[in-house]
Structure 1
């Protein structure tokens, strides 16, 4: 579904990442001039190579001069750059706040100075914590259960306050669990697929009883771009998700069926998060009302596309830090990218 963005100039932070690269692809196909700013700590430049109208600047948001240079000729900012993997935040809380909060403040201040037309901040459904009711609308209590989700909520509060104080034209997007190709982190779907591809008959996982709302990456990216171009929504917070959930145990069954495997599941205590969110189910009625957005890709079809991509490309996970202490990255060791 092509969105016409001809004549726009857009900065996409984190544009070489999983979700960012899909946003860049859709912007490019829609006719936008796109500047990608990414430090390549987990993203891959190859994910955006050859896209018409796309230029790449390697840099870190904590480098103020590099960030200002990246914003020089743009009208819109889509801010996706972040440290995103929840278990990593347990070990590196300061890094998560430096990147996810402090760097966001710097970016927002420059956006105010340059009078950017729209600043879209990509948050996370994790800011809600486990569901108190379902489906979860934007008025659901925000009770984050990890350092990562606290950092995302803090950045939300900052950019919204800047909207109130300085007229920052911000829209906050809360995507529920996105999945698809161009994998950069060991999330649950590539984790399961990778174990099965490597011939594991016994899939090792943590909490298999939690429920998640999985949205295919192209749908999530389309919602982000609609938030960029839709008039009259400054200051709004908008959920992006399917309104359907699946238990992780059930998800394994669907993946195994697509791959023609019949694995057993073993609970690996080292993979269980200290305060895991049990249930996330999106109410996307606000996105539908304000953006005209609704999901188009089913879970099974999205999984088929993702599995096919993994079979062709493998899963090579970069790291943002040195010396990972967590065993959940072990299944990726054979494909580890330095």
Structure 2
């Protein structure tokens, strides 16, 4: 027996989106996976999903309002994850971030309003806060566009909230802090470290190691999405999903090396450094609102939870078939 109403997941071919899609199917939801149309007919991370045949696939482009509306026609709720997320790429191609992140979100909101869907969960990012002005960072923290990427996500978030306030569109905003886990792009720091170590390197290339992050294991982020999807209290709200634990990149490297039983030296790669005023120096989530409104809390919290999550991630990357999908020797922005 399928749970009530079909759920559309945009960005279902990506890291978080594929995990969300599979968890929804596993829990008995009827799911339509919106994947990015391409000539290879690739569904991204859903290509080899064990749940193939149990979810519907719609190939399209979030920037196309007609396609978005068509995808949403028979759906009751939407989890909107489709986004351009790489910060370095946003430095030289900011226009694509406006089209994808802001106009793509507008397309989802317009269609939701016209079709009368019962819930839109819009995906934000901790990057909208910029470097912490106080910690832990709650949802009232000022927003700072320190990269074109974060500026585009601030714009998308505000567009989503404007539809709630202007048209009573049932929007909820999930704001995950730094999610990591199996399938994550090597453009992110944890897969960058693990993939280089798994490939046998002892000297790894990184950008800045002093910034701190609040790392969130993929299972906790996915559970946050499903909690918000099912909570009426979330409508009109912005909700942080984070572990409430802060660790520097340098200490994260040491922890990964410990988990993997490797020796490691860090080589600073100038190409991986953000412009000085663009680097987000500190992120640390206050997750009290998620606990109170959603009854959500991280299963992988604190140093022990991080160690366990890193172990599970490293085990996944340790599989040669998985590692072969990464170019650990190349820095792709």
Measured after TM superposition, the shift of residue 90 of structure 1 is 0.6
Per the alignment, residue 113 of structure 1 pairs with: 114
SS of match in other structure, 1:44: helix
Is it true that 1:305 corresponds to 2:300 in the alignment? no
2:279 aligned to which of 273, 276, 279 = 276
Cα distance in 2 between the residues matched to 1:113 and 1:122: 21
CA contact (8 A) 1:258 1:304 kept: yes
Cα 1:188/1:40, change in 2 over 3 Å: farther
Cα 1:53/1:330, change in 2 over 3 Å: closer
SS of match in other structure, 1:7: strand
CA contact (8 A) 1:85 1:185 kept: no
Measured after TM superposition, the shift of residue 258 of structure 1 is 1.4
Gaps of 5+ in 2: none
SS of match in other structure, 2:234: coil
Cα distance in 2 between the residues matched to 1:8 and 1:144: 36
Cα distance in 1 between the residues matched to 2:273 and 2:235: 39
Cα distance in 2 between the residues matched to 1:315 and 1:70: 33
Per the alignment, residue 225 of structure 1 pairs with: 226
Alignment of 1:1-338 (within 5 A): 6-39=3-36, 43-46=44-47, 48=49, 50-51=51-52, 53-274=54-275, 275-297=278-300, 298-312=305-319, 313-314=322-323, 316=325, 331-332=329-330
Matched length: 320
SS of match in other structure, 2:290: helix
Deviations 1:257-310 (A, max 9, x none): 111111111212221101210000000000000000000021111111111111
CA contact (8 A) 1:28 1:52 kept: no
Measured after TM superposition, the shift of residue 47 of structure 1 is 5.1
Instruction: Give the aligned CA root-mean-square deviation in angstroms.
Output: 1.9
Measured after TM superposition, the shift of residue 196 of structure 1 is 1.2
SS of match in other structure, 1:331: coil
Cα distance in 1 between the residues matched to 2:263 and 2:37: 37
Measured after TM superposition, the shift of residue 26 of structure 1 is 1.3
Runs of 4+ with >4 A deviation: none
CA contact (8 A) 1:60 1:67 kept: yes
Cα distance in 2 between the residues matched to 1:172 and 1:315: 35
SS of match in other structure, 2:138: coil
Deviations 1:88-112 (A, max 9, x none): 1111100011000011101100000
Cα distance in 2 between the residues matched to 1:47 and 1:226: 26
Gaps of 5+ in 1: 318-328
Q: TM-score, normalised by structure 1?
A: 0.90
Of stretches 58-67 and 281-290 in structure 1, the one that deviates more from structure 2 is 58-67
SS of match in other structure, 1:8: strand
Cα distance in 1 between the residues matched to 2:130 and 2:37: 29
